[in-house]
Amino acid sequence: ATNATLAQAIAEAVYKVQPELVLYGLAGSELTKAGEKIGLKTAHEVFADRTYQANGTLTPRRQPDALITSAEAAIAQVLRMVQGGWVRTQQGPEIAIRADTVCLHGDGAHALEFAQQLSQALRAAGVQMGRPAFAK
């Protein structure tokens, strides 16, 4: 997410193999920037159950509070990112973020229940779900 050289190599490889593919990457990352720079369609992915750093990266899992364990807090974060285009960081300030897709970790004990709750909350807020328009 932060290595520009590696991101450029990945984006170029995808473009050479199949330039009509959509390159998914962490929102605002070097990977999505590299993909956009060479003309790939990109999908900026945000994370429902992870906290963010002031530079837009995810809080490393080894740090306290890297994971959001409350469904209510995760849903509130997703709604802010999807509808408002911002996320509150671990350091306090809010930063702009683009949310084309939302990642849900399926390895949690309540993953299915959380996915259902998030889906209901997004629908209730009027958010349309499905493939990004550019990926159709």
pLDDT tens track for 20-58: 999 999 999 999 999 999 999 999 999 999 999 999 999
Please tell me the predicted confidence (pLDDT) of residue 106.
Answer: 81
Residue 106 to residue 25: CA distance in whole angstroms: 18
Residue 1 to residue 28: CA distance in whole angstroms: 9
Q: Kind of pairing, strands 22-26 and 101-103?
A: unpaired
Please tell me the predicted confidence (pLDDT) of residue 89.
Answer: 96
Domain boundaries in the chain? 4-126
For the chain, list residues with pLDDT below 70.
Answer: 1, 134-136
Beta-carbon contacts of 122 under 8 Å, excluding residues fewer than 6 positions away, are 78, 79, 82, 129
Residue 76 tokens read as 């509130």
CB 119 within 8 A of CB 76: no
In CATH terms, 4-126 corresponds, of 3.20.20.370, 3.90.110.10, 3.40.50.720, 3.30.450.20, to 3.20.20.370
CB 44 within 8 A of CB 23: no
Please tell me the predicted confidence (pLDDT) of residue 96.
Answer: 98
Please tell me the predicted confidence (pLDDT) of residue 135.
Answer: 60
pTM: 0.90
For 36-62, b/e burial (b = at least 16 CB within 10 A) is eeeebbbbbbbbbbbbbeeebebbeee
